[in-house]
Amino acid sequence: MAHEVFISYASPDKKAADAVCGTLEQRGIRCCIFPRDGIPGKSFAETIAEYMGQCRVMVLVLSSHANSSKHISREVEMAVRRGLTVIPFRIEAVQPTGSLEYWIAEAHWLDAITPEMERGLNQLEEWVRPHVAVVERSATAAAGSGRAAERPAGDPPPAKRVRPAFCRKCGSRLLPEARFCRQCGTSVPR
């Protein structure tokens, strides 16, 4: 299953980024967040580029730390160049500066400055959902039209194999192609 939202944040803002990820995933929107979704043995840059190609939305956790991060600026630039909708989720009373200001100058941001964090998290789904829903509708239509043409009339649809999303032993999120849990090493049923 592809990711729908890429979460970009500076390391000191991990707690806020985890709150964003948890809120969206509880509401059925699959997120890509590092280091959780990093692929062992693959460079972060390569993995970020790969995952960003799956997403339609980037949520930027905007703070003074994000403002000063060269990595965040590169991620936002990549998102803009790939046509992702960038939603700045501002957790501090800061204005974007430098190249970050250039890349998100036209984006309307969502304020989630404490004590507004809870309200901001609830509102974030409302901002993200329309972009994800467009992708869901077009993927469903494409899949439906392709299967109907390939299957003879009257034949039942093929059974879908459902892979677990989380490890049964430790509860860690599993990568779609994983054969073993990267946290505890438990074998993943195929």
User: Which of the 8 DSSP states describes residue 49?
Assistant: H
| Phi, psi (deg, nearest 5) at residue 104 | -120, 20
Average pLDDT, the chain: 80
pTM tops 0.75, yes or no: no
Residue 1, pLDDT score: 59
The per-residue pLDDT for range 67-119, each reduced to its tens digit, is 999 999 999 999 999 999 999 999 999 999 999 999 998 888 888 887 778 88
The per-residue pLDDT for range 143-168, each reduced to its tens digit, is 555 444 444 455 445 444 444 555 55
Contact 5, 132 (CB under 8 A): yes
Domain ranges of the chain: 5-143
DSSP per position, 110-151: EE--TTSHHHHHHHHHHHHHHHHHHHHHHHHHHHHHHHHHHS
Residue 157 vs residue 60, higher pLDDT: 60
Pick the CATH number of 5-143 from 1.10.10.10, 3.20.20.140, 1.10.760.10, 3.40.50.10140: 3.40.50.10140
Residue 167, pLDDT score: 55
Contact 96, 62 (CB under 8 A): yes
Residue 149, pLDDT score: 43
13 Cβ neighbours under 8 A, 6+ residues apart: 61, 63, 65, 66, 91
